């Protein structure tokens, strides 16, 4: 059983560009959350998707947007990239009906903005 998968593993962009990161949840999971982890910091909650809708959002600007597809996979889009967007982006999923249980994290996408 595959766990949470993310693509790509690494990405280099320049300021002002746009980026799309992808996540496939663990089998049987329907809720996907995205986190940003800057170097030396703990992960910060960006937003969560359930039933193809954004259910909750952290303190991130509108440049950060997302989408969830009918197969529960998800995308994170970041527009007008800033140097400060360089970070490890983590995706996590929850099992159906267990929204308060442990989240399973993917390996992350390392984004470098030059």
Partner 1 sequence: KQEVTQIPAALSVPEGENLVLNCSFTDSAIYNLQWFRQDPGKGLTSLLLIQSSQREQTSGRLNASLDKSSGRSTLYIAASQPGDSATYLCAVSLPGANSKLTFGKGITLSVRP
**Interface residue list for partner 1 (CB under 8 A):** 4, 31, 33, 35, 40-45, 48, 50, 55-56, 58, 88, 90, 92, 94, 99-108, 110
Decide whether 42 or 84 has the Cβ nearer to partner 1. 42
Q: At its nearest, how many Å lie between partner 1 and the CB of residue 95?
A: 10
Decide whether 55 or 63 has the Cβ nearer to partner 1. 55
- Here the tokens at position 63 are 């440049």
Sequence-distant (6+) residues with CB within 8 A of 62 are: none
Half-sphere exposure of residue 47: CA atoms within 13 angstroms, side-chain side: 22
Q: At its nearest, how many Å lie between partner 1 and the CB of residue 48?
A: 6
Alpha carbon distance 88, 82 (integer Å):
14
Decide whether 85 or 94 has the Cβ nearer to partner 1. 94
3-state SS assignment for residue 42: coil
């Amino acid at each position: 059983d595959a766990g949470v998968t993310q693509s790509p593993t690494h990405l280099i962009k320049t300021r002002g560009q746009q980026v799309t990161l992808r996540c496939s949840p663990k089998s049987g999971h329907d809720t996907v959350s995205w986190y940003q982890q800057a170097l030396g910091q703990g992960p910060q909650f960006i937003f969560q998707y359930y039933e193809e809708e954004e259910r909750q959002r952290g303190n991130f600007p509108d440049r950060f947007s997302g989408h969830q597809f009918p197969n529960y996979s998800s995308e994170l889009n970041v527009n007008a990239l800033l140097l400060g967007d360089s970070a490890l982006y983590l995706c996590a999923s929850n099992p159906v009906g267990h929204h308060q249980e442990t989240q399973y994290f993917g390996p992350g996408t390392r984004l470098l903005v030059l």
